[in-house]
A = this chain, B = another copy of it.
Amino acid sequence: MTRVERLVGDFLRGRDQFASAQQIHALLREQGERAGLSSVYRALRALEQAGEVDALANEAGETLFRRCAADQHHHHLRCTRCGVSVDVAAPAVERWAERAAREAGFTLDHHTVELSGRCGKCARVP
């Protein structure tokens, strides 16, 4: 494990929000760490492959990263205002996905379920 990987890993360990590679890079710099943007990208790719962080795609097409507590498969519910996110398990949805695919004659490889809205704190803020 390389220095920047450790840096990025530690940084994400103290967060419950998704962040883009560029955000992570900027925040690391702000707190005085030295790390190049490319190394941050490289680290994130490595951590993702190692299953250490979860990645998901923004509406804008950026990739967002977050360290996830759970080992097992799960989905995310993300606040569009403050970025906080919680993990949601959904065995029922997994089963539904399998069945829907089979009924259409497909074999299922992959599925994404992402929920977004306002968390309790951000509910009434414009």
Contacts and interface: CB of A to CB of B under 8 A. Distances in A.
Contacts of A77: 100-101, 104, 106
B109 A111 contact: no
Contacts of A62: 61
The 9 closest A-B pairs by CB, nearest first: A105-B120, A108-B117, A109-B117, A106-B117, A61-B61, A111-B115, A110-B116, A112-B114, A107-B118
Interface of A: 57, 59, 61-63, 77, 79-80, 86, 88, 90, 92-93, 96-97, 100-101, 104-120, 123
Contacts of A86: 104
A109 B117 CA distance: 4
Nearest to A115: B111
A87 to B, nearest CB: 10
Contacts of A113: 93, 97, 111-113
13 contacts: A57-B59, A88-B100, A93-B93, A93-B96, A97-B115, A107-B117, A107-B118, A107-B123, A108-B115, A109-B117, A110-B117, A111-B115, A112-B112
